[in-house]
Structure 1
């Protein structure tokens, strides 16, 4: 049975809010990683998120079943590994190319769902996926070459897609808070392993700590919970298309707060991604097979998270 239409719409709006928050962090991260290595930044960010979440949601986290704990660990490993690979890839490729390749999880999510879970993806959804991907290319690409950096980034996109698919299958509203807490802790451990060789570097001043705390509490803890809850009520493909708005919001905040200039590419690419989201939203109803297949997944079903 599909989730009620109102709850599905709420989940979509919540996921849009998550992508807006993620998009607002791009220019903050760009400034912060000039002095704090990316792996160190991720470790501290998700470490703080995990500590705060466990303090607030200790009862819900401890109430998780062993199965839910295993799911949380798998989801955290997927997401943490994707973060590390994306960071490694970014050291060998342009940020614009990295942004586009990472965004290909929009395509990889329905592909993984169809191949691994035998999900049926409607033609209109594939059209929205294609339009969103083209929009990401217009928004991000300034040239393209294939090398080690691009390969690492593509692998990270596969893991992000796997995380989205897993969340769509395993996430339930009941366990969302606990799952998000376990994920944050596991992500901190995974990124911490990458940070160990060079030692842990902390932010140098109050401004950097303020940025990191915003990313830990709002874009970390809050966003992890919101995504986990939202994907209990949305298909993985639908969620991926909505999350393609992240670079659109990143461009918006870069112009609004980061001092960048608004370009024609931003307007055209952003419009294409927004159109793709509206296309899949307008054509999806609780009775659609593409919407009902994963909006209210059975608890025992295999679940995937980003």
Structure 2
């Protein structure tokens, strides 16, 4: 009985903490957009992650002991994989945000929730025994893509709808794929690596990847002022150091689908904060597109899924 209560309590706290993290992530879209007027995207990302790495290493230094032993190899491997996907996601998202609006970036990033079940159908990615995506996942992906077109293209695009998607939207869509792979990596690592250690390692490796890829963004620049300093403080401390440690903890208590469902709130929070602080409004067409994306996300997560044994039978008739 006590174990059951403890498990329920852990799940409740994991849900609440993850909702708080998603609120912070949603709020960072307009914050980063404002900072990019004074900094190049990759330079901002590197400084953000470097600050977060120093903070996490200082707080969790005891967890790093014995890391370079045989027992520590799985933690290094999972941390490296998660760090690579995290870096790829943030680099694409932040560069994309320079060319699109915060609310559009938030809704497109939200497609990660649709991509998680779809990627779970790829052999070797999903956990053994996890349910495979059913018709709802594919229908949700279709709704999400239709919403993406409405959200980002003007009226009368006709057959050239894909041309209506700008570089900012395409980059953000790539970011959603990277973040979906990051989420699945964390889900697999949760049973093998502690939350503090995993949170520190993935951010540390992410910083190294960002350092290596910094020249790809052209000449880096970062002009420090109150806007940039505030954005770095919010994104590095709350949006990275705290957020990814909490996410690593939450995924030890929640299945990936629950985590993904909570992430559906991120584009909503991004739109609300953009409306409140930047006055950004969506027209009827864009609102319809945003609604379709959310509908696709919810359908993919709440709709029926194929049990593992049926999925195996379907794949091997």
Same fold by TM-score, threshold 0.5 exceeded?
yes
Say how many residue pairs are matched: 286
- How far is 1:276 from its partner? 6.4
The reply on whether 1:235 has 2:242 as its aligned counterpart is: no
Residue 175 (structure 1) shift = 0.9
Alignment deviations for residues 227-255 of structure 1 (CA, whole Å, 9 cap, x no partner):
11111222223222211211100111223
Q: Equivalent of 1:145, from 153, 162, 169?
A: 162
Query: What are the superposed Cα offsets for residues 187-229 of structure 1, whole Å, 9 maximum, x if unpaired?
Result: 1122222323645433422342122112110111011111111
Is the contact made by 1:131 and 1:273 (CA closer than 8 Å) also made in structure 2? no
8 Å contact from structure 1 (residues 39, 191) kept in 2: yes
Q: Bigger CA drift: 103-112 or 34-43?
A: 103-112
User: Given the alignment, which residue of 242, 261, 282 partners 1:222?
Assistant: 242
Q: Flag the structure with larger Rg.
A: 2
Gaps of 5+ in 1: 291-306
In structure 2, the gaps of 5 or more residues are: 155-160, 309-317
Q: Distance in 2 between matches of 1:139 and 1:156?
A: 19
Confirm or deny: 8 A CA contact 1:109 1:162 kept in the other structure. Answer: yes
* Partner-residue secondary structure (3-state), 1:234: coil
**1:183, 1:205 → 2: CA distance?**
28
For residue 29 of structure 1, what is the aligned residue in structure 2?
Answer: 32
- Alignment partners' CA distance in 2, 1:274 and 1:152: 22
| Structural RMSD (CA) | 3.9
The residue that corresponds to 2:115 in the other structure is 108
1:61-100 alignment, distance < 5 Å? 61-64=64-67, 65-89=72-96, 98-100=105-107
TM-score by length of 1: 0.76
SS at match of 1:257: helix
CA distance in 1, matches of 2:143, 2:136: 10
Counterpart secondary structure, 1:145: helix
Q: Deviations over 1:136-187 (max 9, x none)?
A: 6499445452568355443332221111111111124961111111111111
Relative to the length of structure 2, the TM-score reads 0.74
Match of 1:182 in 2: 201
